[in-house]
Chains A and B, each alone.
Chain A
């Protein structure tokens, strides 16, 4: 399952610059709003699902080289955060759905740990 399909099936909004998401194949995911837990738990090329939307999620996502960050419950990153994400090559996605539902849907779609 590539990121483009995930974006379409979950109806996610792409907040950062569009690019070829079909070539990105996330091979797992990690969910937490605690940045240090993410640092410890998320692996490269994972999806990171969080409620956090402030600037510091970009640094975490960039260091870990996650495939994308899915920001839930319509939490809206400010323009500076989106600009920084573009600069660092981090993909930010947004959804009005709660984290629990997104996790469940991803699991059903075969994106497992």
Chain B
């Protein structure tokens, strides 16, 4: 591979991973928000209003000063219309800026309830082809106005809030070991792996890798653990009689992984450590397993590997990865 600057995903691997996890739900999250968020969450409540007898030039000034694009028109507190910048433009074309609001305002009023979901408001925008809708409360009284811009802003704000919560959760997880004081703090993850369960093959390794990244592990270390533990997990699925236990014990300075099964056991351990040696069945080989590379891969990924095996009793595989004492700078940047 040619040398190049690492991609953002390589540097911020865990962030990339988490977002990848969210990737699939990203679009639906916006959809979800469109149902979750209510009109009153995003509408403009602090309304500037106009009267029907006001000259248009005066409303134009209200719009300009407040940087808004439309106002409801009220007569004796009663809503009678809505005046938008487009209406004023129409008046300008005829040089009638001194005309009263009543002459140019839109009398067609489309209202939404303040407890309606945003999706309903979006539907109303599409149906009415209007730029702004009147928001009324349960008694039909004017409480605000909503534009598509308000909706976009509301959704972005909600996504931002989601993102901050996610960052906070990740921050808390990655400081787990710093926050808990004991003579020896370890976190143990256990997975029960079933024999011949190819359907779920790799699930435990994926979960382990994700947990490590969430806990703030260096992406490279998480990758090494993921590969080693995947091979060990598949060994339990392919070769054991009754499956086994996959265990990962995490400490600030090292990660210890192990698999334990109750048979059949390996007659000659030195033989299985040779590249290309495999006892996998023809059927399993057709799926691409049984290359005789599993243990070799594990060895390559971990700092220490041990196999203890007794035929008829079972096998215990232990793998250890040392975590460099100094934390990579990526962690520091992650503080909120």
- Chain A interfacial positions (CB closer than 8 Å to B): 17, 19, 25, 27-28, 33-40, 43-45, 50, 52, 54-60, 62-65, 80, 86-89, 113
Stretch at the interface among B66-74, B105-113, B200-208, B302-310: B200-208
B273, chain A: closest CB distance, angstroms: 14
Among B3-11, B77-85, B87-95, the stretch that binds chain A is B3-11
Interface class of chain B by DSSP: helix
- Per the 8 Å Cβ criterion, residues 284-320 of B in contact with A are 287-289, 291-294, 296-297, 300
Q: Which residues of B contact A33 (CB under 8 A)?
A: 288
Residues of B within 8 A of A19 (CB): 23
Partner of B230, one of A39, A45, A55, A113: A39
Is B293 touching A37 in the complex (CB atoms < 8 A)? yes
Residue of A nearest to B204 (CB): A59
When the two chains form their complex, are residues A86 and B4 in contact, meaning their CB atoms are under 8 A apart? Answer: no
Docked complex Cα distance between A70 and B294 (Å): 23
Q: Give B207-232 as 1s and 0s: 1 = Cβ < 8 Å from A's Cβ atoms.
A: 00100000000000001001100110
Q: Chain B residues with Cβ under 8 A from A59's Cβ?
A: 201-203, 205-206, 230
The yes or no answer to B32 lying at the interface (CB within 8 A) is no
Q: Which of B20, B199, B227, B293 contacts A63 (CB 8 A)?
A: B227
Q: Is B209 a contact of A63 with CB atoms below 8 Å?
A: yes
Given contacts A36-B291, A60-B230, contact A44 B223 (CB under 8 A): yes
B226 and A34 contacting across the interface, CB-CB below 8 Å: no
A58 to B287, CA, bound (A): 13
Which of A36, A43, A89 has a CB less than 8 Å from the CB of B231? A36
**Is B1 on the interface with A (CB-CB < 8 A)?**
yes
Is B198's beta carbon under 8 Å from chain A? yes
Contact of B20 among A57, A60, A80, A89 (CB under 8 A): A89
A57: chain B residues within 8 A (beta carbon): 288
Kindly identify which residue among A44, A58, A87 contacts B10, using a CB–CB cutoff of 8 Å: A44
Q: Give the total number of A-B pairs whose CB atoms are below 8 A apart.
A: 96
B65 within 8 A of A: no
Give Cα A59 to B227, complex, Å.
10
Of the candidates A17, A36, A38, which one forms a contact with B24 in the assembled complex, judged by CB atoms under 8 Å apart? A17
Q: Find out whether the CB atom of A36 lies under 8 angstroms from the CB atom of B1.
A: no
Rounded to whole Å, the gap between the CB of A49 and the closest CB of chain B is 13
Query: What residues of A have a CB within 8 angstroms of the CB of B13 in the complex?
Result: 65
Contact A28 B288 (CB under 8 A): no
CB-CB under 8 A for A89 and B297, given A36-B291, A39-B230: no
Q: What is the bound-complex CA distance between A17 and B23, given in angstroms?
A: 10
Kindly state the separation between the CA atoms of A14 and B4 in the bound complex, as whole angstroms. Answer: 28
B53 interface residue per 8 A CB criterion? no
A40 x B300 contact (CB < 8 A): yes
Say yes or no: is B21 at the interface (Cβ < 8 Å to chain A).
yes
A35 to chain B, nearest CB (A): 4
Is A34 touching B288 in the complex (CB atoms < 8 A)? yes
Give A44 to B10 CA distance when docked, in angstroms.
8
Residues of B within 8 A of A39 (CB): 227, 230-231, 293, 297
- Cross-chain contact B24 with A63 (CB below 8 angstroms): no
Contact of B1 among A43, A64, A88 (CB under 8 A): A43
* Cα of A33 to Cα of B302 in the assembled complex, Å: 24
Contacts of B203 in A (CB 8 A): 59
The answer to whether A34 and B201 touch across the interface, beta carbons within 8 angstroms, is: no
Measured between C-beta atoms, what is the minimum distance from B211 to chain A in Å?
13
